[in-house]
Amino acid sequence: EFILLGLSDTRELQVLFFTIFFLAYAMVLLGNLLIIVTVRTDPKLSSPMYFLLCNLSFIDICCTSVTAPRMLVDLLSQRKAIVFEGCIAQLFFLHFVGSSEMFLLTVMAYDRYTAICKPLHYTAIMSRWVCWVLVSACWAGGFLHSIVQTLLTIQLPFCGPNTINNYFCDVPAVIRLACTDIYVTEWLMVSNSGLISLGCFLVLVTSYTFILVTIRVRLTEGHRKALSTCASHAMVVTLFFVPCIFIYLRPFTTFPADKYVCVIYTVFPPVMNPLIYTLRNKEVKESMWRLWKRC
Average pLDDT over residues 8-22: 89
The reported pLDDT for the residue numbered 25 is: 93
The H or E element spanning position 256 is none
pLDDT of 44:
81
Q: Which pLDDT value is given to residue 225?
A: 61
Cα separation, 172 vs 170, whole angstroms: 6
Query: Phi, psi at residue 167, to the nearest 5°?
Result: -105, 5
E-assigned strand segments in the chain: 2-4, 81-82, 163-164
Round to whole Å and give the CA distance between 71 and 267.
11
pLDDT in tens, 56-115: 999 999 999 999 999 999 888 888 889 999 999 999 999 999 999 999 999 988 888 888
DSSP-derived secondary structure letter, 194: I
Beta bridge partners of 163: 3
Q: CA-to-CA distance for 141 and 127, rounded, in angstroms?
A: 21
Over residues 264-275, the mean pLDDT reads 83
User: How much is the average pLDDT of 125-149?
Assistant: 93
For residues 139 and 20, give the distance between their C-alpha atoms in angstroms, rounded to a whole number.
Answer: 30
**137 or 220: which carries more pLDDT confidence?**
137
* Mean pLDDT value of segment 5-26: 89
pLDDT of 10 higher than 90: no
- Order of strands across the sheet with 81-82? 81-82, 2-4, 163-164
Q: Model pTM?
A: 0.89
C-alpha angle 25-196-145 in degrees, rounded to nearest 5: 75
Q: Is the pLDDT of residue 272 over 60?
A: yes
Provide the CATH number for the domain formed by 2-293 in this structure.
1.20.1070.10
pLDDT of residue 247: 86
pLDDT of residue 229: 65
Of 20-24, 64-68, 221-225, 272-276, give the lowest mean pLDDT range: 221-225
Q: Which of 290, 230, 221, 281 is nearest to 42 (CA)?
A: 290
Most confident segment among 60-74, 230-244, 245-259 = 60-74
Report d(CA 191, CA 203) in Å as an integer.
17
Backbone angles phi, psi at 44, to 5 degrees: -70, -20
